[in-house]
Amino acid sequence: MEIEIKERESKGFAIARENGQKAGLMSYSIPASNFIIVDHTEVEEAFQGKGVGKQILYKVVEMAREKDLKILPLCPFANAMFKKLEDIQDVLK
């Protein structure tokens, strides 16, 4: 699974691909210099149930740690993951 993060102005997203095929995407907005808002997660039907969303979230968390950012998870999936996974709560806003 290859996960790439792209940002443009006040928006960003992480996209997961498997053998060149899109597996999932997590989008976020950048309202301030110290935090991001995860607002949407989608996983393609063929990849559902394989942990793709979680892998994407971990990539976004890794990026947040590198940039010293906090994450506000408005997306229901990301919000549920932050409540469930203690190892990522250090970046929770």
Cα–Cα distances in Å, from 32 out to 11, 70, 74? 11, 10, 16
- pLDDT at 62 (0 to 100): 98
Homologous superfamily assigned to 2-87: Gcn5-related N-acetyltransferase (GNAT) (3.40.630.30)
- pLDDT at 44 (0 to 100): 98
- pLDDT at 91 (0 to 100): 98
The mean per-residue pLDDT over the stretch 4-20 comes to: 97
- pLDDT at 1 (0 to 100): 94
Q: What is the dihedral of CA 29, 76, 92, 12, to 10 degrees?
A: -20
pLDDT in tens, 16-66: 999 999 999 999 999 999 999 999 999 999 999 999 999 999 999 999 999
The mean per-residue pLDDT over the stretch 54-82 comes to: 98
Burial category of 76 from C-beta neighbours within 10 Å (exposed 0-12, middle 13-18, buried 19 and up) = exposed
**CA 3/CA 48 separation, integer angstroms:** 16
Q: Could you tell me the residue ranges of all domains in the chain? A: 2-87
